[in-house]
Amino acid sequence: MISAGDFKNGVTFDMDGNVFQIVEFQHVKPGKGAAFVRAKIKNVITGTVIERTFNPTEKFPLAYIDRRNMQYSYSEGNLKYFMDCETYDMIPIDESKLGDSFRFVKEEMEVKVLSYKGDVFGVEPPNFVELVITQTDPGLKGNTATNATKPAVLETGAEIKVPLFVNEGDKIRIDTRTGEYMERA
């Protein structure tokens, strides 16, 4: 059990049959009245973020999220197959549970598969990945001083914005949390 007064960022707990993760919290002690905890919490299954205030003495059972290292193997229809790096078991996961950041994952890449009580609800790719640009307009010499961008298609099929000087065939580093171009690799 965890009390609202002991909240920390990243803690997962069970509330009303749903699993929530603390995104942000703040202990508030007003001049008049009792103290309370204001928190932004994210439903780990659906991904919705809500703001809620808690009494510091409220208690909730902790929820343990299982994060297993798995390797993305291949795709077949709406199913993506992952291999457990320890047992070599193949596990199919429906495309709808993978989330937006999965668009930066290519075959044979290692990811963390997230589950709660055996029910898979998401995949966490590495924070930074290196991918090759397969399609973009040609870069122009001297276009390095402005912050102008152009669309580019990556080897995984994802489309992102890149600076004008980046060309087809270049290997670039991407932040999978934001989906933004970081640098040439």
Give pLDDT, residue 183: 87
Rounded average pLDDT over 97-123: 84
Q: Say if residue 55's pLDDT is above 60.
A: yes
Non-local (6+) Cβ contacts of 6 within 8 A are none
**What domains does the chain contain, in order, with CATH numbers?**
2-60 (2.30.30.30), 66-124 (2.40.50.140), 128-184 (2.40.50.140)
Give pLDDT, residue 122: 79
Q: Say if residue 32's pLDDT is above 70.
A: yes
Give pLDDT, residue 123: 84
Give pLDDT, residue 143: 56
The proportion of the chain whose per-residue pLDDT surpasses 90, expressed as a percent, equals 24
Question: pLDDT band at residue 140, thresholds of 50, 70 and 90?
Answer: low
Cβ proximity of 150 and 129 under 8 Å: no
Q: Say if residue 18's pLDDT is above 60.
A: yes
